[in-house]
Structure 1
Amino acid sequence: MITPPLAPDVLARYPGLEKLGRTATRLHPRRGAVTATESHVGGPLLWPADEPWPTCATPCMVQEEVPIPAELLARMREAESRRTVAHVLADGEIELHEELARLVGPGFSGWGSVNGGPTVGYRYGPRPHPRPNPMVALAQLRAADVPDLPRPGGADLLQVLWCPFEHDTPPWGPTVELRWRREADVTATLTEPPRGETGTEGYVPQPCRLHPEQIVEYPYIEELPAELRALAEADEDEEYLDTFMAPGWKVGGYARWSLTDLSPTPCPRCAGPTTLALVIDSSEHGADRWRPARANGAPDDDDPYEPTGVVVGRYGALRIFVCLTCPDVPFLLDQQ
């Protein structure tokens, strides 16, 4: 896959921005059969036969239903009928929603009905796994395939696993395990990893081959020098971001802070700086500027919207930042 090059006149609008370019590797996942010796999403891992498979013992969050008293539901419907604009709450509706939230209790996440059934309130509560839950293989990345993959301690293979449930450990979502290896050290391999429970289908990836492509990205707006930041804001933030920051699964580059504004990502152990190692995105699509073509110049007819089947949060992205100076490569997760 090849991303169309950035037009020279576009970069010229931001004098000095070219000096801030940083390489990233777009992974371009596309569904297909994969093996344990390849870089991929959602396939078998090159896993040592004598190494225990990671499990999750952190309680998962499950959705519970709470009945809503008919009297409260009637008051809510009466207040809603007084709206003059469909999406603008009528007087008193906020207070009724707060009353409902108190009734449902901690973990309140809304209300609704299914297939014409009763209207109920929803809340999330912790539930221990019946036994430590075997994690799901999410991705395997080889340094030989992915130019921007960090290589802590000389590792040339990164394996990412997670527990396919929601958890209340920041950020809300799956618990994550990273394994860094040297491929040459793995001789006898595990042929059939254990299988566990699945709570969220969007956390079970579809097998995808990768088509890594190294590109150049530029900083998030809040990381720009003042004069460049002013230019970007004058051009509208989204136009700058859609032009200079790649969407989809990628390794390296810059992080896009679409929900929280720029946030620190200190190492959880030494509090030093971390490096963006991997972006796990719900979609491969961004602005047309990033739509790839095949290496021979032909359009990517298989260009899918969400090839991996992975959905993070509210259709967002999970980013993994790693510390390359601490032993054992501690990491930090952020969801946008």
Structure 2
Amino acid sequence: MTRTTPPRPLDITGVFPELAGLARTAFRLHPVPGEPTVHDSSVGGPLLWPADEPWPEYEMAPIPHWEANALRDIHLRRALLARSSAPPHGPGEVLTEDEQETLRRINTGLDHESLPSGPQPMIPLAQLYARDVPGLAFPEGTDLLQVLWATTYVPSRDSSPVQLRWRRCAEVRDVLAAPPEPAYVAVVDFVPVPCVLHPEAVREFPPYHSLDEDLAARLLAWDEQRSGGTYWTDLSVAPGWKAGGWPTHFTFREPPEPDDDELRCPECGGPSDALLTVDSNEWDGSDSWIPLECAKGAERPPDQPYGNLWDPTQVSIGRGYSLQIYYCVGTPSHSPALIMQ
């Protein structure tokens, strides 16, 4: 399945030639719900994980006043809602009484008092094979990136809820057949729908906060004079899940920029760079990023009646933001830096 980003409304380097040397290649991942295997690049799919390697864990606690759910129940609820929403039926029309009772039980959540304490297994967030994202900065001798995370809110300036693994596929002889699962999920919106990927290389330019002050000011003034096709929305950074490229814009900070130490490796203090963007939506209010294959106004794929084309993973960061995962340029195996943007 192909996903094709439309051409940009204009070539911004024709207006600001100094941007030409700042262009980067990003890979829009274009996740689509499916059944990925360990041999596929995926979001929320199974990992090519060595059977003899410990699975990462994270010290979790239920969030007060938030529902905690079993991982299997989250997938079951999505399956029931998908079936109940399939045309020509309306919500709830095709579920049995037992299935409706199952939904009520899941929606109630688990009793926090009954939940186990201590570390819980992380869950797969993404797996990227180098063959699918050529040019992404894989460390020498590796051809596979795996990203795992904990299903709890990411504390500010704490990188521990996300872990990276860089591997060489040929070295994984025996694959872990049944990865451990957490006893509960603290944030339902952090459980991705398993998706196959359709990576597409696109050209990006820096967000405002990555430009020098003079150029950023001139671009902002240029944007303010336009009624559409602005640098911010259409000509710089692609929305959605992506690998590499430039980090996304800051959407809720004033000033809209990171602190000096946020972009430093949390282990060595060295520079970090954009690795993976986890986005709440595949596109935003600007129609220019909608893939040509996703016709404007087509809200749902025919085989996925529950969910939307712009929200295939059903992951939501905060109130619809994105989580930018940065890797250490000097030592990619170091813990990543995380910023909600």
Give the TM interval when normalised to the shorter protein: 0.7 to 0.9
State whether structure 2 residue 339 is matched by structure 1 residue 334: yes
* Residue number among 268, 272, 275 corresponding to 2:273 in the alignment: 275
Structure 1 residues 133 and 9 mapped into 2: Cα distance closer, same or farther (>3 Å)?
Answer: closer
CA contact (8 A) 2:51 2:176 kept: yes
> CA–CA distance in 2 between the matches of 1:271 and 1:156?
26
Letter in 1 for 2:288: R
> CA–CA distance in 2 between the matches of 1:52 and 1:128?
23
* Residue number among 309, 312, 323 corresponding to 2:328 in the alignment: 323
> CA–CA distance in 1 between the matches of 2:157 and 2:205?
26
1:293 equivalent in structure 2: 292
Structure 1 residues 222 and 132 mapped into 2: Cα distance closer, same or farther (>3 Å)?
Answer: closer
> CA–CA distance in 1 between the matches of 2:320 and 2:212?
31
Structure 1 residues 172 and 313 mapped into 2: Cα distance closer, same or farther (>3 Å)?
Answer: farther
Structure 1 position 62, deviation (Å): 2.8
* Residue number among 243, 246, 254 corresponding to 1:251 in the alignment: 243
> CA–CA distance in 2 between the matches of 1:189 and 1:222?
42
Secondary structure of 1:133's counterpart equals strand
User: TM-score if structure 2 supplies the norm length?
Assistant: 0.72
> CA–CA distance in 2 between the matches of 1:176 and 1:129?
21
Structure 1 residues 226 and 132 mapped into 2: Cα distance closer, same or farther (>3 Å)?
Answer: closer
Secondary structure of 2:330's counterpart equals coil
Structure 1 residues 151 and 64 mapped into 2: Cα distance closer, same or farther (>3 Å)?
Answer: closer
* Residue number among 234, 249, 252 corresponding to 2:221 in the alignment: 234
Q: Which has the larger radius of gyration?
A: 1
Gaps of 5+ in 2: 68-111, 302-307
Q: Deviations over 1:93-142 (max 9, x none)?
A: xxxxxxxxxxxxxxxxxxxxxxxxxxxxxxxx9x9952321111111111
Gaps of 5+ in 1: 66-124
Structure 1 residues 161 and 53 mapped into 2: Cα distance closer, same or farther (>3 Å)?
Answer: same
CA contact (8 A) 2:50 2:172 kept: yes
Aligned residues: 272
Structure 1 residues 176 and 2 mapped into 2: Cα distance closer, same or farther (>3 Å)?
Answer: same
> CA–CA distance in 2 between the matches of 1:236 and 1:175?
37
Within-5 A mapping of 1:66-215: 130-166=117-153, 169-170=155-156, 175-196=161-182, 197-215=184-202
> CA–CA distance in 2 between the matches of 1:138 and 1:231?
38
> CA–CA distance in 2 between the matches of 1:46 and 1:138?
13
2:48 equivalent in structure 1: 46
CA contact (8 A) 1:166 1:173 kept: no
2:37 equivalent in structure 1: 35
> CA–CA distance in 2 between the matches of 1:129 and 1:220?
43
> CA–CA distance in 2 between the matches of 1:3 and 1:64?
38
Structure 1 position 279, deviation (Å): 0.4
CA contact (8 A) 2:66 2:186 kept: no
Letter in 1 for 2:311: E
> CA–CA distance in 1 between the matches of 2:239 and 2:324?
12
Structure 1 position 299, deviation (Å): 4.3
> CA–CA distance in 2 between the matches of 1:195 and 1:41?
16
* Residue number among 310, 314, 317 corresponding to 1:309 in the alignment: 314
CA contact (8 A) 1:171 1:335 kept: no
> CA–CA distance in 2 between the matches of 1:27 and 1:315?
18
> CA–CA distance in 1 between the matches of 2:4 and 2:239?
14
Q: Deviations over 1:8-43 (max 9, x none)?
A: 454422232222111111101111111110000111
> CA–CA distance in 2 between the matches of 1:10 and 1:289?
15
Structure 1 position 257, deviation (Å): 2.0
Structure 1 residues 8 and 239 mapped into 2: Cα distance closer, same or farther (>3 Å)?
Answer: closer
CA contact (8 A) 2:60 2:152 kept: no
User: TM-score if structure 1 supplies the norm length?
Assistant: 0.73
Structure 1 residues 308 and 327 mapped into 2: Cα distance closer, same or farther (>3 Å)?
Answer: closer
Structure 1 position 54, deviation (Å): 1.1
> CA–CA distance in 2 between the matches of 1:321 and 1:212?
19
1:21 equivalent in structure 2: 23
Structure 1 residues 64 and 35 mapped into 2: Cα distance closer, same or farther (>3 Å)?
Answer: closer
1:12 equivalent in structure 2: 14
CA contact (8 A) 1:14 1:231 kept: no
Question: Counting strand residues as a fraction of each chain, which structure ranks higher?
Answer: 1
Structure 1 position 328, deviation (Å): 2.9
Structure 1 residues 207 and 14 mapped into 2: Cα distance closer, same or farther (>3 Å)?
Answer: same
> CA–CA distance in 1 between the matches of 2:314 and 2:124?
14
Structure 1 residues 309 and 285 mapped into 2: Cα distance closer, same or farther (>3 Å)?
Answer: same
Structure 1 residues 176 and 6 mapped into 2: Cα distance closer, same or farther (>3 Å)?
Answer: same
CA contact (8 A) 1:165 1:203 kept: yes
> CA–CA distance in 1 between the matches of 2:29 and 2:288?
16
CA contact (8 A) 1:25 1:148 kept: no
- RMSD of equivalent CA atoms: 2.7
